[in-house]
Amino acid sequence: MRSPAAQIGLAIAATLLVAGVAYLMPSPAVLIALGLAPLAAYFAFRNPFVLCLAFILFSFFRLHEAFPVMYPLKIPQMLAIGTLVVLAVHLLFRRIEIAWSPELKLFAMFFCLVTIGMFFATGRDIAIGYWTDTYVKIGLMVFAIASLARSPADFALASRSIVIAGMSVAYVALYNSVNKIDLVEGTRVSIGRTFGSVLGDPNDLSLVLAFPLSFAISLVITRRTGWFDRVLGGVGGMVLVAAVIATQSRGGLLGMVAVFAVYGAQRIKSKALLISIGVVGLLGLFAVAGISGRQSGGAAEAGLVDESAEGRFHAWGAAVSMAIAHPLTGVGLNNYVANYWFYSTWWEGFAKAVHSTWFSALAESGFLGFGIFITMIVRMVRTAMRAMRQLAPAAAGAAYQPAAYSLAQALVAGIAGFATSGTFLTQAFTWPIYVLLALSVAVGRYSDDLWARRSPAAPAEAAGTGV
């Protein structure tokens, strides 16, 4: 306890600080913010995962770009600073321990390789700019999420928040579609294209929208979830499916089908029936989305392989050529487009994106980085599947936690959706896969600890990674 004199001194100092700021910036909004700051700081230090999750939601879903009224507030920057400060204080006083696992070791190796490659990039300024703007934040937040998400309450908050954020972006997408705002090629919906938003590309928007779908479905089908979660998941799932359809992204539609296929595989024993349903569902989605009416990749482009698909093949070939020329570090982070002219055998008059997560990792991190990247994803899949088995009602018994099992299911389906849609979308160095990685590590740690407490003899058996 501080002495009365110290408490009076702190009160006087705080009063002078508020008075000084109010004099320099006489705005009601500033005074309100100052008044709420102590409460916000107290809440953040007591609940660091909430602050970290908020930063992830704004960075991944670009909520401040979907709702431009928030753009001037610099919310992602404020959340980033707050998260780092809170993490530093908790680490200083040893209130949390940094998570460490085989998946995180592989990620650390990949991150270091990409960072080193940044200095050998063909366009060093481009690589350094993307690293400082985005990738270093991803690197920090992977460890933050994996370390701070530790309980079923954290898992429930993560699942619900991801679905709600996805619904918010889906609402804007559907609003734009109905009102013919920011349409690409006259039919494909986007968000914030006029001011250069990441969501301005329908393909990237489709992945942002498809990402929360696995979480929404899991909330609906997981045993013993509450009515709120079921309603949220049901409504969210329908809204997200409609919004992905509005993007007319073939990669996004394939990702959705992959998500449904994972859940279907757990409940439909006949593989022939499952495949039949999947094919019919995919054809139905393509028809509803009006893919044939697209200007690019639609029925207007004749031939077995349309011009859009042919462009992807050439883009992938250029990626391979880049990796052959720079096998250890690749051409550098975010440098694919800048190098397209030099390595492509097919030129349309403009540089194309690689349109593939896998070829993006290959081109921009080389063969070494690509191998680490793939190994990291394989380990992540095995961890998520092991957690799903351990946390299932039959295995967990009385220790069953719906929130933890729901998240594990969502991660398995989400990884499948990402791997499918990511084959046609450029997402090797953006948020989705790394959020899945961090949450997989978090739920894996929880499930392993739970299994170890249930039976001392079980961990060795449960740790088996057969998929």
Per-residue pLDDT tens digits for 280-294: 877 887 777 666 555
Mean pLDDT to the nearest integer, 238-257:
91
- Rounded to two decimals, what is the model's pTM? 0.83
Q: Report the pLDDT value the prediction gives residue 270, as an integer from 0 to 100.
A: 74
Q: Report the pLDDT value the prediction gives residue 302, as an integer from 0 to 100.
A: 44
Higher pLDDT, 386 or 195: 386
Neighbours of 88 (CB within 10 A): 10
Count of helices and strands (H, E) across the chain = 21, 0
Q: Report the pLDDT value the prediction gives residue 90, as an integer from 0 to 100.
A: 75
Model confidence at 461: pLDDT above 80: no
How many Å apart are CA 379 and CA 366, to the nearest integer?
20
Task: Using a pLDDT cut of 70, give the percent of the chain over it.
Answer: 82
Is 207 in contact with 421 (CB distance < 8 Å)?
Answer: yes
How many Å apart are CA 405 and CA 218, to the nearest integer?
9
Task: Using a pLDDT cut of 90, give the percent of the chain over it.
Answer: 44
For the chain, first and last CA: distance in Å?
54
Higher pLDDT, 238 or 21: 238
Residue 42 banded pLDDT, cuts 50, 70, 90: low
Q: Report the pLDDT value the prediction gives residue 372, as an integer from 0 to 100.
A: 97
DSSP 316: H
Mean pLDDT to the nearest integer, 90-96:
75
Q: Please write down the long-range contacts of 430-435, taking CB distance under 8 Å and 24 or more positions apart.
A: 430/134, 430/138, 431/56, 431/59, 431/60, 431/138, 432/60, 432/207, 432/208, 432/211, 433/357, 433/377, 434/107, 434/138, 434/141, 434/142, 435/56, 435/60, 435/145, 435/211
Q: Which residues 6+ apart lie within 8 Å of 10 measured at CB?
A: 2
DSSP 192: S
Q: Report the pLDDT value the prediction gives residue 467, as an integer from 0 to 100.
A: 36
Model confidence at 151: pLDDT above 60: yes
Model confidence at 345: pLDDT above 60: yes
Is 398 in contact with 454 (CB distance < 8 Å)?
Answer: no
Per-residue pLDDT tens digits for 398-427: 888 999 999 999 999 999 999 998 888 888
Per-residue pLDDT tens digits for 174-205: 999 999 998 888 889 999 888 878 888 898 89
Mean pLDDT to the nearest integer, 260-285:
80
Is 173 in contact with 210 (CB distance < 8 Å)?
Answer: no
Higher pLDDT, 129 or 70: 129
Q: Report the pLDDT value the prediction gives residue 298, as an integer from 0 to 100.
A: 47
Mean pLDDT to the nearest integer, 252-279:
83
Residue 40 banded pLDDT, cuts 50, 70, 90: low
Q: Report the pLDDT value the prediction gives residue 464, as an integer from 0 to 100.
A: 45
Model confidence at 34: pLDDT above 90: no
Phi, psi of 184 (to 5 degrees): -100, 135
Mean pLDDT to the nearest integer, 87-107:
84
Model confidence at 7: pLDDT above 60: no
How many Å apart are CA 15 and CA 18, to the nearest integer?
5
